[in-house]
Amino acid sequence: MERSTIDLWVGLFMVAGLGALTILALKVGNMGSVGSNETYQLSAEFTNIGGLKPRAAVKSSGVVVGRVSGIIFDNEKFVARVSMNIDSRYKFPQDTSASILTAGLLGEQYVGFEGGAEDKPLTPGATLKLTQSAVVLEKLISQFMYSKADGSAGK
Amino acid sequence: MFNRGAIINIRGLGHRTIDSVMRFGYASRFFALTLLNSGACFRRPHLIVRELYYTGVQSMIIILVSGLFVGMVLGFQGYQTLNTYGSESALGVLVALSLVRELGPVVSGLLFASRAGSAMTAEIGLMKTTEQLSAMEMMAVDPIARVVAPRFWAGVVSMPLLAAIFSAMGVYGGYLIGVVLIGVDDGSFWSQMQSAVDFREDIVNGVIKSVVFGVAVTWIALFEGYDSPPTAEGVSGATTRTVVTSSLAILGLDFVLTAFMFRGI
């Protein structure tokens, strides 16, 4: 076979391989979405984060506005400190509340933001004051059982 | 009589153990020599390009077809299982993650070992049998620099590209079955996939795996060829050993790498 034909085929092979990698990165992976934009950091303290994991979504009104970048345990206050990278296109007022919610009944957990009425926006690096922890199903059931038991005893 | 037989067996066991350790040491020396003598083939890249044609381009058809079929099977099987839990919109995630993390590198590594690795072993073994390697040495051409190193680098370069092609074809196959044939929602197929597959955690780890498999397969194939007894029987045995050893090496290395990369934390 001629040298130039081999070169052509090898070139095609390299283009196909690198093209496949690019497709995987852009179409299959999340290189194109949140993460490539400018972000700023916010943090929040929760008494219980449930099953929240790093890279979980941060949503406001159902729209993804950022991702959880890290979760550490604060050994002085005994709370979980969740830091989040928020897309800098979105600004939230200072009395925004953060809660840990679940997508569907058994879905993955995410942080939900609900904007307040304050005029001033949160500055980068700020900590959210109003937080609501994850709902622990066992606690909910045991509370329900207790109240049920109380109710039937009273009758 | 019984004692004598037992002693001979034990002696044979020890002999085989020492033999295989020695062979492993020789293989490591061969690997180091290949790396040390790679300079010449980087200065003459057409040697690598020629080998890329034989290892990479000629393996592409089998990789394309099997990637498509593996993806289509994943589409059917994933839909069956996910449908039971009413979460068939997660089909994209299942197909993409299983391909990018595991099936892409492993299956294309196995195909590469049997398609390109066996050919490499047979070629070098036959070169040795027909004394072409000795002839090169006579002409003061180092056979490792001229024959082995270009093949090694071609294998290392083409393996991750083949794995990426395999995964991309597989995702397309899963899309064909899941979205086009069965009718899973197009938007949720891609958007759930994109939010679940991470570039660093999944795609880069898959590429690292395939590079490691490429090094292992080409090293084993080249060494078996270089070390094969110079007879017709010896070359055929070496070719068989290449496929068996490199398949086992791929599966073993895959376990070790997966244990490091995805510890479930």
For residue A103, tell me if it sits in a domain.
Answer: yes
How far apart, in Å, do the first and last CA atoms of chain A sit? Answer: 95
Shortest distance between the Cα of B136 and any Cα of chain A, in A, equals 23
Return the higher-pLDDT residue of A153 and B241. Answer: B241
Return the higher-pLDDT residue of A35 and B1. Answer: B1
Q: Check CB contact under 8 Å for A24 and B60.
A: no
Question: Is the pTM here over 0.80, yes or no?
Answer: no
Please state the rounded mean pLDDT for residues A113-142. Answer: 84
pLDDT, tens digit (0-9, with 9 covering 90-100), for B120-172: 999 999 999 999 999 998 998 888 888 999 999 999 999 999 999 999 999 99
- Contact, A112 vs A92, CB < 8 A? no
- Contact, A86 vs A42, CB < 8 A? yes
Please name the residues in contact with B100: beta carbons below 8 A apart, sequence gap of 6 or more.
A24, A28, B167, B197, B202, B203, B206
Question: Do A19 and A94 belong to one domain?
Answer: no
- Give me the helix-helix angle, B149-175 and B118-129, nearest 10°: 160
Tell me which of A13, A22, A71, A109 to substitute to probe the interface with B (most B C-beta atoms closer than 10 Å): A13
Percent share of chain A, pLDDT over 90: 6
Looking at residue B31, its amino acid is F
| Rounded CA separation B148/A110 (Å) | 53
For residue A151, tell me if it sits in a domain.
Answer: no
pLDDT, tens digit (0-9, with 9 covering 90-100), for B224-260: 999 999 999 999 999 999 999 999 999 999 999 999 8
Question: Do A109 and A49 belong to one domain?
Answer: yes
> With 60 as the cut, is the pLDDT of residue A154 above it?
no
**What's the number of domains chain A is made of?**
2
| Rounded CA separation B136/B143 (Å) | 6
Q: Is B214 on the interface with A (CB under 8 A)?
A: no
Q: Which DSSP state fits A136?
A: P
- Of A34, A101, A111, A33, nearest in space to A71 by CA: A111
Q: A-chain residues within 8 Å CB-CB of B194?
A: 27-30, 32-33
Question: Do A54 and A88 belong to one domain?
Answer: yes
pLDDT, tens digit (0-9, with 9 covering 90-100), for B46-94: 888 989 999 999 999 999 999 999 999 999 999 999 988 878 888 988 9
Quick one: pLDDT at residue B252? 95
Question: Do A18 and A44 belong to one domain?
Answer: no
Please name the residues in contact with A19: beta carbons below 8 A apart, sequence gap of 6 or more.
B168
Shortest distance between the Cα of A91 and any Cα of chain B, in A, equals 22
Quick one: pLDDT at residue B69? 96
- Top-ranked range on mean pLDDT: pick from A14-23, A25-34, B191-200: A14-23
> With 70 as the cut, is the pLDDT of residue A105 above it?
no
Quick one: pLDDT at residue B98? 93
Confidence of residue B264 (pLDDT cuts 50, 70, 90): low
Range of the domain at A137: 39-141
- Work out whether strand A79-87 and strand A63-74 pair parallel, antiparallel, or are unpaired: antiparallel
For residue A111, tell me if it sits in a domain.
Answer: yes
- Contact, B246 vs B216, CB < 8 A? yes
Return the higher-pLDDT residue of B2 and B125. Answer: B125
Question: Do A62 and A26 belong to one domain?
Answer: no
| Rounded CA separation B121/B239 (Å) | 6
Q: Check CB contact under 8 Å for B161 and A13.
A: yes
> With 70 as the cut, is the pLDDT of residue A21 above it?
yes
Handedness of CA B131, B136, B142, B144 (dihedral sign): negative
- Contact, A13 vs B59, CB < 8 A? no
> With 90 as the cut, is the pLDDT of residue A29 above it?
no
Cα distances from B256 to residues A21, A44, B110, in angstroms, run 24, 37, 17
Quick one: pLDDT at residue A35? 47
Confidence of residue A26 (pLDDT cuts 50, 70, 90): confident
Please state the rounded mean pLDDT for residues B28-57. Answer: 89
For residue A146, tell me if it sits in a domain.
Answer: no
For residue A89, tell me if it sits in a domain.
Answer: yes
Question: Do A69 and A116 belong to one domain?
Answer: yes
Q: Check CB contact under 8 Å for A57 and B195.
A: yes
Confidence of residue B40 (pLDDT cuts 50, 70, 90): confident
For residue A53, tell me if it sits in a domain.
Answer: yes
Q: How far is CA A120 from the centre of its chain?
A: 24
> With 50 as the cut, is the pLDDT of residue A34 above it?
no
Looking at residue B39, its amino acid is G
Looking at residue B29, its amino acid is R
Q: Is B148 on the interface with A (CB under 8 A)?
A: no
Percent share of chain A, pLDDT over 70: 88
For residue A16, tell me if it sits in a domain.
Answer: yes
| Rounded CA separation B161/B30 (Å) | 25
What does the domain layout of chain B look like in residue ranges? 37-261
Question: Do A77 and A134 belong to one domain?
Answer: yes
Please name the residues in contact with B62: beta carbons below 8 A apart, sequence gap of 6 or more.
B111, B115
| Rounded CA separation B257/B106 (Å) | 12
Question: Do A52 and A85 belong to one domain?
Answer: yes
Any idea which of A14-23, A24-33, A62-71, A136-145 has the lowest mean pLDDT?
A24-33
Quick one: pLDDT at residue B32? 93
Cα distances from B261 to residues B44, B198, B202, B207, in angstroms, run 36, 13, 9, 12
pLDDT, tens digit (0-9, with 9 covering 90-100), for B189-223: 888 888 788 888 889 999 999 999 999 999 999 99
User: What tokens were used for B64?
Assistant: 């394309």
Shortest distance between the Cα of A130 and any Cα of chain B, in A, equals 27
| Rounded CA separation A6/B181 (Å) | 38
For residue A150, tell me if it sits in a domain.
Answer: no
For tokens 């979105």, name the residue.
A90
Q: Check CB contact under 8 Å for A20 and B50.
A: no
- Structure ipTM over 0.85, yes or no: no
Quick one: pLDDT at residue A7? 85
- Work out whether strand A130-132 and strand A79-87 pair parallel, antiparallel, or are unpaired: unpaired
Question: Do A135 and A72 belong to one domain?
Answer: yes
